[in-house]
């Protein structure tokens, strides 16, 4: 293909482009305010591009482009294409999940819930957009949707969960999914008794009082804790003056909790501005970006982001890749984005992020003063965290390699096994039987390669040997058929059990005519068995190898048990409610929303069951009678 001729047809408009190899595989995705100019820069022959760019162009055979209506649309298009194609020459975030949001539901008595993606019907709240923050309940933009109000996004999911938990505890917002009408429904849960929920299910909380609590939660999520404290202090004084000392004590405790939140934020500027300080530390093919978020002049937190495929990239290229991933996922940018190095075109980034924010955004490298010191602090934190992460990973890998060397000597293998697969079975008298396959590569777990099995030929048969034989044969035959999910084959197979399970594994390998080393680890004495040897090997001389086998076996057991419990839980709920006359799908869903478990239903009264929306007294009596019989 004549790339030079095709370049002449590229328009001078904003958009995204895909560079491909001869087989049509996407090598690189980029964006540009002027597509023709950017693509010409890639394909020029002066060798001025970085090493990664030269390697990419040496493989390039074609390109495609998509015209965008604006610079911002080009930025979002680039991020989506990178996520879709995962090009080998693009820098990518190690954790590429979408950011979560907090939603206040649109119910008579609302509750807080997590939503992973912004609902399609969500729109910015009317009027000027509230400044959005980072990590903690500071300056979160509000969206309205038919199903409730949305706050976020929160790049740090753990911090978001802490925020939800803190908001519920401070203001007594319910966490249950009961359908509440203002009348008593069921029995109050533990949260009510320990004063973490005001108990709207008791019928003693008016919608007006609860709405006031929700207004306080909204202020809290918008970062207006100071305003809440002032309101609560006024109410506490009024309660004390009218001798309502118990109410005054409750308000005092809320004020103390809010002040603890405020104490965690460090004032770094007298200017009440929103700023992000971004710096990077890189080593070989890995980089760590630290983002320090300042909201209303307060440093509220910092977040590290790991990036992959950064070998040969400059600091500016890594930061630009991070800006693409982070701000397109966040959907918002602060008034200033201050970075640790000069970007190729910070005016372009200012324009794109300004369009994203809806007002001016400045992207630059600070040269002096407090802003420069904060960027340098972010860079030092990035370097320390990258070094700590590298050391931890290196130490773990070194210990794993030593254990593998000992394992090869203990089992008399020609070389240390690089890929070890372990299998385990979990069931109760053959019911809800599930098998697990966990994979360790280089002595470390590779969770993407884990697999689960539901029993087919041996379903409902309490025969662990037969179940082990089934999953091993299915796994090996899938590999024989060329299924990439089960390739490559392992260097060593580990089965949970003694000589019986070992024999099953050996026969499975013989049936598919494969020569793979196999070992069994017994539960009781932690004895290690190998084929054609009746006595366990002397594993006590190799403690590191034995510990590695135990860790792999325990991981397989955990993985199988988790799946088994999930299946059993679903089956228990289904069998307990599905066979009851008069309890159809809608009533079953209403009951599960009103009660935390089937056990809680069995402990309720007929009146409480009949009060569930959609239920009546005959159905409640039938339900209680059925659950009582099951409990006998």
Residue showing tokens 């996520």: 83
Task: Say which DSSP state 202 is in.
Answer: G
Task: Give the pLDDT of residue 46.
Answer: 60
Q: Which two tokens stand for residue 562?
A: 């988790």
pLDDT per residue over 132-190, tens digit each? 333 333 334 444 444 568 876 777 777 778 788 888 877 888 988 888 888 898 888 88
Asked which of 244-258, 332-346, 353-367, 512-526 is least confident by mean pLDDT, the reply is: 244-258
Question: At residue 10, does pLDDT exceed 50?
Answer: yes
Is residue 45 scored above 70 in pLDDT? no
Structure tokens at 212: 């006031």
- In degrees and rounded to multiples of 5, residue 80 shows phi and psi of -65, -40
Quote the pLDDT of residue 133.
30
Chain centre distance of CA 145: 24
The whole-number pLDDT of residue 245 equals 77
pLDDT single digits (tens) 531-561: 988 888 877 778 888 889 988 988 888 887 7
Percent of the chain with pLDDT over 70: 85
Angstrom CA distances, 221 to 43, 94, 175, stand at: 49, 28, 17
Rounded distance between C-alpha atoms, residue 45 and residue 349, angstroms: 27
Q: Are 41 and 80 in contact (CB under 8 A)?
A: no
Question: What integer is the mean pLDDT of 499-508?
Answer: 91
Contact 418, 442 (CB under 8 A): yes
- The four Cα atoms 19, 23, 26, 30 give a dihedral, to 10 degrees, of 0
What integer pLDDT is reported at residue 567 of this predicted model?
Answer: 53
How many other C-beta atoms lie within 10 A of the C-beta of residue 284?
9
Question: Average of pLDDT values for 325-352?
Answer: 88
What backbone phi and psi angles, to 5 degrees, belong to 218? -60, -45
Average pLDDT (387-392) is 74
pLDDT-derived band at 484, boundaries 50, 70, 90 = confident
String of DSSP letters for 552-585: HHHHHHHHHHHHHHHHHHHHHHHHHHHTSTT--H
Determine the number of helices (DSSP H) and then strands (DSSP E) in the chain: 19, 22
Two structure tokens written together for 16: 């995204």
Question: Which uninterrupted H or E stretch holds 163?
Answer: helix 157-171
List, in sequence order, every residue forming a beta bridge with 64; answer none if it has no partner: 18
- What SS3 state is found at 155? coil
The pLDDT of 435-454, averaged and rounded, is 88
Is the confidence at residue 337, as pLDDT, over 90? yes
Report pLDDT digits (tens) over 50-90: 778 888 888 888 999 999 988 888 888 898 898 888 898 99
**Is the per-residue pLDDT at 201 higher than 80?**
yes
Three-class DSSP labels, 337-395: EEECCCCCCHHHHHHHHHHHHCCCCEEECCCCHHHHHHHHHHHHHHHHHHHHHHHHHHH
pLDDT at 462 over 80: no
- What are the C-alpha distances in Å from 196 to residues 245, 373, 464? 19, 42, 46
Between 46 and 604, the more confident residue is: 604
Q: What angle do CA 578, 581, 587 make, to 5 degrees?
A: 60
183: which residues sit within 8 A by CB, 6+ positions away? 203, 611
Q: Is residue 439 over pLDDT 90?
A: yes
Structure tokens that stand for 415 in this block: 């070389």
Domains and CATH numbers, the chain: 3-90 (3.40.1440.10), 275-387 (3.30.420), 419-568 (3.30.420.340), 579-631 (1.10.150.20)
In this structure, of 42-51, 91-100, 395-404, 419-428, the range with the lowest mean pLDDT score is 42-51
CA angle 47, 30, 280 (to 5 degrees): 80
Q: Which of 611, 592, 588, 610 is nearest to 600 (CA)?
A: 592
Statement: residue 215 has pLDDT above 80: yes
Is the pLDDT assigned to residue 396 strictly greater than 90? no
Residue 493 has pLDDT above 90, yes or no: yes
Contact between 538 and 527 under an 8 Å Cβ cutoff? The reply is no
In whole angstroms, what is the distance from residue 104 CA to residue 110 CA?
6
pLDDT band at 524 (very low <50, low <70, confident <90, very high): low
96-105, 204-213, 289-298, 496-505: which range is least confident on average? Answer: 96-105
- Average confidence (pLDDT) over 357-361: 90
Euclidean distance between CA atoms 467 and 508, whole angstroms:
12
Query: What is the per-residue pLDDT for 364?
Result: 93
Three-class DSSP category at 381: helix
Which is higher by pLDDT, 258 or 550?
550
* Cβ partners under 8 Å of residue 260, min gap 6: none
Distance (Å, whole) CA 442 – CA 460:
36
For residues 289 and 278, the answer to whether their CB atoms sit within 8 Å is yes
* pLDDT given for residue 363 in this prediction: 94
Residue 566 scores a pLDDT above 60? no
Of the candidates 499, 535, 534, the one whose C-alpha atom is nearest the C-alpha of residue 518 is: 499
Average pLDDT in the chain? 81
- The two tokens of residue 383 are 């370097």
| Cβ–Cβ < 8 Å for 32, 8 | no
Among residues 141, 137, 138, the alpha carbon closest in space to that of 163 is found at 137
Split at pLDDT 50, 70, 90, the class of 607 is: confident
Q: Which residues contact 215 (CB under 8 A, 6 or more apart)?
A: none
Tell me whether strands 92-93 and 298-308 are parallel, antiparallel or unpaired. Answer: antiparallel
């Amino acid at each position: 293909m004549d790339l030079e001729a095709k370049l002449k047809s590229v328009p001078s408009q904003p958009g995204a482009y895909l560079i491909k190899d001869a087989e049509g595989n996407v090598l690189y995705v980029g964006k540009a305010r002027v597509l023709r100019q950017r693509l010409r820069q890639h394909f020029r022959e002066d060798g001025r591009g970085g090493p990664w760019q030269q390697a990419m162009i040496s493989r390039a055979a074609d390109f495609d482009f998509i015209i965008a209506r604006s610079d911002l649309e080009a930025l979002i298009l680039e991020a989506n294409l990178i996520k879709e194609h995962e090009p080998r020459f693009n820098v990518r975030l190690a954790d590429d999940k979408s950011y979560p949001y907090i939603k206040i539901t649109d119910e008579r008595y609302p509750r807080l819930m997590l939503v992973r993606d912004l609902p399609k019907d969500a729109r910015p709240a009317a009027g000027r957009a509230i400044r959005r923050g980072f990590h903690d309940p500071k300056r979160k933009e509000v969206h309205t949707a038919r199903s409730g109000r949305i706050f976020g996004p929160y790049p740090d999911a753990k911090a978001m969960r802490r925020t939800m938990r803190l908001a519920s505890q401070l203001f007594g917002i319910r966490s249950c999914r009961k359908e509440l009408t203002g009348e008593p429904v069921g029995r109050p849960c533990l949260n009510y008794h320990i004063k973490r929920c005001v108990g709207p299910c008791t019928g003693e909380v008016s919608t007006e009082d609860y709405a006031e609590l929700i207004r306080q939660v909204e202020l809290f999520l918008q970062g207006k804790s100071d305003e809440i404290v002032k309101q609560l202090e006024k109410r506490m004084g009024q309660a004390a003056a009218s001798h309502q000392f118990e109410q005054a004590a409750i308000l005092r405790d809320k004020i103390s909790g809010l002040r603890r939140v405020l104490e965690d934020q460090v004032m770094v500027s007298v200017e009440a501005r929103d700023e992000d300080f971004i710096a990077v530390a890189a080593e070989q093919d890995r980089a760590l970006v630290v983002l320090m978020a300042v909201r209303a002049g307060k440093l509220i937190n910092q977040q590290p982001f790991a990036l992959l495929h950064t070998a040969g990239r400059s600091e500016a290229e890594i930061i630009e890749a991070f800006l693409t991933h982070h701000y397109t996922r966040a959907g918002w940018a602060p008034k200033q984005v201050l970075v640790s190095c000069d970007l190729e075109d910070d005016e372009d980034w200012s324009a794109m992020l300004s369009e994203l924010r809806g007002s001016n955004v400045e992207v630059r490298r600070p040269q002096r003063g407090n802003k420069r010191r904060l960027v340098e602090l972010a860079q030092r934190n990035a370097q320390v965290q990258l070094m700590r992460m590298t050391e931890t990973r290196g130490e773990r890998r070194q210990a794993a390699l030593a254990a593998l060397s000992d394992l090869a000597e203990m089992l008399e293998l020609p070389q240390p096994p690089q890929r070890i697969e372990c299998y385990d079975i979990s069931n109760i008298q053959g019911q809800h039987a599930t098998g697990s396959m966990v994979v360790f590569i280089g002595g470390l777990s590779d969770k993407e390669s884990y697999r689960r099995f539901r029993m087919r030929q041996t379903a409902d048969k309490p025969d662990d040997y037969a179940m082990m034989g089934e999953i091993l044969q299915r796994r090996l035959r899938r590999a024989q058929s060329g299924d990439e999910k089960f390739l490559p084959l392992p260097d060593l197979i580990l089965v949970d059990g003694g000589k019986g399970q070992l024999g099953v594994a050996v026969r499975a390998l013989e049936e598919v005519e494969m020569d793979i080393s196999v070992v069994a680890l017994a539960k009781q004495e932690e004895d290690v068995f190998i084929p054609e040897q009746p006595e366990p090997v002397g594993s006590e001389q190799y403690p590191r190898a034995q510990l590695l086998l135990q860790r792999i076996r325990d991981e397989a057991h955990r993985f199988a048990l988790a799946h088994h419990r999930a299946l059993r839980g679903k089956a228990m709920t289904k069998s307990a409610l599905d066979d009851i006359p008069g309890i159809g799908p809608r009533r079953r869903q209403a009951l599960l929303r009103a009660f935390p478990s089937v056990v809680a239903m069995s402990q309720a009264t007929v009146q409480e069951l009949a009060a569930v929306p959609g239920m009546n007294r005959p159905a409640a009596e039938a339900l209680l009678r059925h659950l009582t019989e099951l409990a006998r």
